[in-house]
Structure 1
Amino acid sequence: MRLLIADDEENLAQALKAVLEDAGYNCDVCFDGKSAIRLISQEIYDGLILDIMMPEKNGYEVLSIIRKKKIDIPVLLLSALNEVDDKVQGFDLGANDYLSKPFSTKELIARIKVMLKENIVDDSYLQFQDILLNKKEETLSCKNIKYQLSKYECSILSLLIRSELNRVPVWLVIEKVWQNKVDVDVKTVSLYVSYVNRKLKALDSKAYIKFDEENIELCVNI
């Protein structure tokens, strides 16, 4: 599970990163609202730990913007503001949970576990343009024709379809699809992208994956 921690108290953010990584999560940190919006829009995270009182954009503004962009990442708000109206405002904007400062790290971890578990939905089917990905069966369909995928091919397509921009960095593919195996590199990703592209072509789909050494992107032939 990959989390983003957005808090302008840098010492606290780094301390939370250390605690959560000890609990088994991969964490990135940022210290202002604009950076949080940029990272959430560009990267794939499983959850956002979001402070309210931040520069550039406060937590409420960040939450409002990402929900308007239809980014459904689970969000836990952190704040020293603990009045009922503050919590109601957060939930009205789309927060999944709210934790008042100061808090215990044990409670934070427990709330994150519950939040991420509750966010699990049946996303067995993912669609992009004229293709339908069945994650459970690991099949790819287009125009009533179906191809079987390997688990790596399926995972690559799933990452791309779920990404807001349909683009992910190669290092994230290696992390998410291969769990950072030491023998996996850019050439491995390139090879599996070529496998997927062959199947997309065989299905006569308009979709294809563009590859360079930094990013892969799901595109459409016009």
Structure 2
Amino acid sequence: MRLLIADDEINLARALQAVLLDAGYDCDVCYDGKNAIDLISQEIYDGLILDIMMPEKNGYEVLSLIRKQKKDIPVLLLSALSEVDDKIKGFDLGANDYLSKPFSTKELIARVKVMLKENMVDDSYLQYQDILLNKKEETLACKNIKYQLSTYEYSLLAMLIKMESHASPVWLVLEKVWQNRVDVNVKTVELYISYLNRKLKALQSCVSIQIHEEKIELCVNI
């Protein structure tokens, strides 16, 4: 599970990162709302921990923006504001939970666990249009037929499905799927896209993958 912590109290943000890393979560940290929005648009997170009182954009503004973009990522708001109206405002904007400062790290971890569990409808599959990825078996299915995928095929397709726009720059695919291996380049990515498109065509799926102008995206063929 990968989390983003956004809090302008640098020492607190780093302390929370250390606590959550120790609890088994991979965490990124930023210190203002604008940077949080930029990271959310570029990266894939399983949950957000947002402080309300931040510079550039506050936590309410960040939450409002991502909900308007139809992002259903779970959000835990942190704040020294403890009035009922402040909590109601957070929930009205789409927060999953609200934690008032100061708080214990044990309570934070417990709330994060509950928040992520409640958001997880079925963690065994990823779905996009008429295709279904089995995360455990690394198989691609459509119309009751399925193909076994290689690890790289699966990772590439899963990444595109998880991205909010279902598109990714090539450099990010090279980084996330192939960990920037020196022997892998755009030609390698194109080769694996061709493998996946053959399988998608054989499955008679409406989905295909296109690469152009250094961007890879899922397309729906009507």
Length-normalised TM-score, structure 2? 0.80
Describe the shift of the 1:185–1:77 C-alpha distance in structure 2 as closer, same or farther (beyond 3 A).
farther
What is the CA–CA distance in structure 1 between the aligned matches of 2:183 and 2:80, rounded to whole Å? 44
SS in 1 for 2:48: strand
Aligned to 2:47: 47
Match of 2:140 in 1: 139
User: Which residue does 1:74 correspond to in 2?
Assistant: 74
CA 1:221/1:139 → structure 2, altered by over 3 Å: closer, same or farther?
closer
- How far apart are residue 32 of structure 1 and its match? 1.2
Superposed CA deviations along residues 70-125 of structure 1, whole A, max 9, x for unmatched, are: 10000000000011111111111111111111111111111111111111113746
Query: Which amino acid is the alignment partner of residue 177 of structure 2?
Result: V
* Percentage of pairs with the same residue: 68
Name structure 1 gaps, 5 residues minimum. Answer: 175-179
Pair 1:125–1:30, CA change in 2 (3 A): closer
- C-alpha distance 102-184 of structure 1, shift in aligned 2 (>3 A): farther
RMSD: 3.0
What is the CA–CA distance in structure 1 between the aligned matches of 2:183 and 2:91, rounded to whole Å? 42
| Alpha-carbon distance change, 194 to 41 in structure 1, aligned in 2, over 3 angstroms | same
Q: Counterpart amino acid of 2:69?
A: K
1:215 CA drift (Å): 6.5
Q: CA deviation at 1:135?
A: 2.8
Distance 2:29 2:39 in 1: 10
User: Which residue of 1 is the match for residue 117 of structure 2?
Assistant: 117
Q: CA deviation at 1:126?
A: 1.5
3-state SS of the aligned residue for 2:34? Answer: helix
Structure 1 residues 81, 186: CA separation in 2 closer, same or farther (over 3 Å shift)?
Answer: farther
Match of 1:18 in 2: 18
Matches within 5 A, 1:183-194: 186=184, 190=189, 192-194=192-194
Shift of 1:43: 1.4
Number of paired residues?
211
Distance in 1 (CA, whole Å) between partners of 2:203 and 2:17 is 44
Aligned to 1:172: 176
Aligned to 1:7: 7
Counterparts of 1:184 and 1:24 in 2: how far apart (Å)? Answer: 29
Structure 2 gap segments, 5+ residues each: none
Report the secondary structure of 2:177's partner residue.
Answer: helix
